Amino acid sequence: MKIAMDVSIMESCRTGTEEYTEGLVWGLHLAGTSVVSMGRGTSPIMPDQPCLGLPHQRSRSWWKKWWWENLGLMKCPQDVNLVHIPYLTHPPRRLAVPTVVTVHDLIPFRLQGYHKRFHERAYFTMVRRRLPLATHLVAISQATLRDVQELFPELTAKVTVIPNGVHPKFFEPVSADAVDLVEREFGLFKHPRILYVGGYDSRKNVQTLVTAVNQIFRQRRDGQLILVGALNHPEVARWVASMNMEKCAMLTPSISRDMLAAFYHTADLFVFPSTYEGFGLGPAQAMATGIPVVASNIAAVTEVVGDAGVLVDPLSVEGWVEGISRVLDSPSLAQKMAARGRARAEDFAWKRVALQYHTLYSRLVR
């Protein structure tokens, strides 16, 4: 069986969709499924290499994105049995082979603030019209399936739920030297260390987290909040400055996966305050690494974390203060949470998740 994977989105390998595509191709390779690329010219894909061995490229313009999704995707490679589009789009007509589209979330249809501009509204109107042309859809969580059922009820019958995966790097041990290097390079000398990995748009709710952590550190007179990637978002520095937290908040630039794994190992606790997600990749990575998790009690994140973490109302500062303090004040609880999380994360290992895709593909190409 040979699958064509749309890798046009593989630009910098820093987004969740890029991480998903990379992990899926790697897992399919282990499962014995042959994968060829679409959308990056003649560049071959190397499943065992970071970013599939594809060189980084500038973000595509809306025009190039439109051209690819309307015309480029129509040119199906020869001798493939199926085309997988790992993000929310479909070409304007059915292809000669089955197509699978991954639905990570329905943010543009669920949250009004995410399609304010005309071209965004036009694009997602086009997506709404074309999704019925897909042979099958994959929702990455039961929460996303429920969104499909509510917003696209006519598509429910052709949706399979397959969870997102966690890269094997997060299951592997990290050397003491690597951890020490990160601590020295970023000045991580305080405890407790609270780590956040994710985006900084409004639904990520990081400002509520910063407010809660500020209260905790004032009570304890020590601690460090690590906000990975926040240097790319100037508004985060303003939040931190408004609370006089400059000395206890570390805002990092974007970092490599190897360095990110080391950051997880430096932390005492991982936090995830999002108000809407299709999955919860950060908590899954943290559990794979073996650190305790305090996260929002929203549907998709609860589905990932289960009873392996502490779940709180994302909008309650008091809830965050209580939940974080509960873990920090009980080393035995933190240890139990880490062990449960590590075991739960095995369900999200790409080696296991890709087998579910292999089974789905086999059913569709019969």
> Do 132 and 217 fall into the same domain?
no
Position 116 scores a pLDDT of 67
- Rounded to the nearest 10°, the torsion over CA 234, 239, 241, 244 is -160
pTM for this prediction: 0.93
Position 114 scores a pLDDT of 66
> Do 193 and 288 fall into the same domain?
yes
> Do 155 and 295 fall into the same domain?
no
> Do 211 and 76 fall into the same domain?
no
> Do 214 and 136 fall into the same domain?
no
Position 115 scores a pLDDT of 64
> Do 112 and 126 fall into the same domain?
yes
Range of the domain at 203: 172-346
CATH number at residue 326: 3.40.50.2000
> Do 118 and 265 fall into the same domain?
no
Question: What is the C-alpha separation between 278 and 106, in angstroms, rounded?
Answer: 8
> How are the residues of the chain apportioned to helix, strand and coil, as percentages rounded to the nearest 5?
50, 15, 35
> Do 55 and 201 fall into the same domain?
no
> Do 187 and 152 fall into the same domain?
no
Backbone angles phi and psi of 160, in degrees to 5: -115, 135
Round the average pLDDT of the chain to a whole number and report it. Answer: 92
> Do 78 and 94 fall into the same domain?
yes
169, 261 contact by CB (below 8 A): yes
Position 156 scores a pLDDT of 96
Question: What is the C-alpha separation between 319 and 333, in angstroms, rounded?
Answer: 18
> Do 312 and 186 fall into the same domain?
yes
Structural domain count, the chain = 2
Nearest to 12 by CA among 4, 3, 21: 21
Question: What is the C-alpha separation between 137 and 150, in angstroms, rounded?
Answer: 15
> Do 355 and 304 fall into the same domain?
no
- Give mean pLDDT in consecutive 10-residue pieces for the chain, a chain of 366 residues: 92 83 93 90 82 81 86 90 96 96 93 71 86 97 97 96 95 94 92 95 94 94 94 90 90 91 96 96 97 98 97 97 97 96 96 96 92
